[in-house]
Structure 1
Amino acid sequence: MKTAFHSFVVTLGCVLLPAACLAEGFTVEQVLSAPFPSGLTSASHAPRVAWVFDNKGERNIWVAGSPEFVPRQVTHYKGDDGQPIVSVRLTPDGKTVVYARGSEVNKAGTSANPQNLTKIPKQQAWAADVNGGQPRLLGDVGCDKEECEDLQISPDGKNVVWPAKKHLWIAPIDGKKKTEQLDELPGESDTPRWSPDGKRIAFRSDRKDHSYIGVLEPAPKKIVYLAPTTNRDAGPVWSPDSQQVAFIRQPGLESKRPLIPEFPRPWTLWIASAQSGEARELFRSGNAMEDSLPLFAFSSLQFTTAGRIIFASEKDGRNHLYSIATEGGAPQLLTPGDFDVEDVALSADKRSVLYSSNQNDVDRRHIWRVNATGGEPQALTRGETIEWSPVETSDGKTVSCLGSTATSPAMPYRITSSGRELIRAVIRAEK
């Protein structure tokens, strides 16, 4: 049977060598059929990365690792069945990938069924060993919000927890036991985060007009709430020693407030003892429009091993990164300048952060690094390329990212001393 392999090679060659392709000729179909990567992630204790390739609607997970970063396909789903793969996570040893497959549910509690199957597909959590074998079903997800899938692997790599049906659920990654419900709290439990020692899980308990940050011990199923109020708390992140949790607090929702005119949305940064629940304020935003909680606030919040917490703020009109000592004090601006910061990720040693930014290149994003204690940010990529979604391997030797140019589609790359290097994947799809 004829395969699309030749078409993919021609397409990749065309987008990378446009001048040569103009001479040989290529089709619009070849240009539009290039695979698209997403969900780049790295293992915490192994030099391996994973991502999703969408090849003409056929979505599968790929991995690559040190030292050569030769990619290989892990899952082998066939055809465009309309079932997305998201929330991809690698176990700490990099040997197993966990992911959610299927769309969010609608108000009727059902997932999308674009193929009009008699049996409606479910959104489910799966695990697959990177060295081969069939994926293992871990349990149903069925969350009802955009990008609500949030699978979190325990530090020992044995269990995965996720929010579903308004509660938290846990399952062993080996698939040998059934999924277990962790809480029966009112409202909705989400945003689970394992403590680094693997003994507790921080999460948000959403009660609609207010929310709490709770710390749950799975074995006795005991919960400690962190300085609960009628405010809205969200975005828990753990300290490296598993003793403290930082989170963002916003005022409780006001009922019947008009949407127009737009109004400021102030916020504060708090740190709490995971044991006692006692908390104190570290940072308070201003009350101007530019002081409002930024779009990337939760994804940018990082607890470093340098005794500082990194957070995002737009108080100067641009989305920038700041760091503040866990003891408090004045925040330090890490990324000064007329540009914006996105895609923030901790380095392997948790003493610096990687991010994408249009610094010195207003039309393109590039990958940068800055220390949590300050100093001049370092550009890892530059030029007429575009890069985003940086991750660093656990040995600290390789930064990977997604990248493209004006004439080449998005692909996974690793960043070397001489620039970025394509992680070449051979995509085969039966016609």
Structure 2
Amino acid sequence: MDVRTEIIAVGSELLLGQIVNSNAQFLSQQFAQLGMGVYYHTVVGDNSTRLEHAIKIAQNRSNVIVFTGGLGPTKDDLTKETIATMLGKKLVFDYEALASIEQYFTKTKRKMSENNKKQALVLEDAVILKNDHGMAPGMGIKVDDIIYILLPGPPSEMRPMFQNYCRGYLQQTLGLQEKIISRVLRYFGIGESQLETDIEDLINEQTNPTIAPLAAEGEVTLRLTAKHIDEAVANEMLDELESKINQRVGEFFYGYNDTTLISELSKQLSNKKRTVAAAESLTGGMFSEYITAIDGASNIFKGSLITYTNEMKVNILRVSKQTLSEHGAVSEQCAIEMAEQVRDIVGSDIGISFTGAAGPKPHEGQPVGTVYIGVAVKGKETSTYKLHLSGTRQGIRIKTVKYGCHYIVKHLKDL
């Protein structure tokens, strides 16, 4: 069966931007693991007419329609009522769910209003999906070769319901066997166009597994996806493709899936039992903010000095006045002194410095995007890196921090 899945999230709060549609992301990931192709995401408010319109569109293009939200007790919870009308199905009480709701109110010593009983109403002939973490049950029903799945909106209820009951229902109803396994490879220090050029033939020849390049802020990622009935075989297919790719661009590879450069830096520092300190100018404490967001940062991060002005660089970091007068703050010489001084003042194994012109105007005659990063490792000659970055002021600062993490990781690998 060619599975064409559509997710319809119901709730005006989604359209108003009051909450993020995390349910659609979760479900898409789960359907991918089941080998179900998700073709469309739809969001509709708490309005029966607009929901009917969205369902009619979905019926013409999808054969699995999954709804989240609108199963609650209030008047604007109208998902199952609308679907029942469109499918010509009655709503009947699921007495197991009704008993569970009544027990909840008895246990909490609260009076149950009549509208709470509404949550126990389900489509006649539907398979009931138990709600172990809330009141409204979910349901699945097949009508005219289309499968309709109704799930609650709160993620704390929807996710366990899907894992414990909905997944099995779909596997049985659809006879699913083939699995889709994805793996994200993360790269830094190479542009998206260059990476695609380096693996162009692999992209052109892709069938199974597939390669999907994705761009992030100063990074490039590749999502590899393989389909196979055996998950182990699918992973072997991904391993083979990853190996081919990294034979060409492996020097820029730094991690998998949801990892970040700062996370990888944290791991490397922990593994090598080294500490780092930062002297920040244009980044204004951003490096420190990122690294201290990591659990256990106190074991690897000694501290930082934010010396935004030349006066602070002289008085706090002890950068020489001569260096600043002859070369300026945006210079290789200043970056070296900043990195070495913060390392020695704070007493860390590694000192890193960030100085440059983030914009919107040039600084000391240096064009916007000119950045120097210094890395001073105890017992080794200090390294400096000159960058010519583009983008907004904030984008330049973010890229600067990421490059700093990248360079420290390179040094740690050599230790």
Q: Please, what TM-score do these two structures have when normalized by structure 1?
A: 0.22
Q: Which has the larger radius of gyration?
A: 2
Whichever structure has more strand as a proportion of its residues is: 1
Whichever structure has more helix as a proportion of its residues is: 2
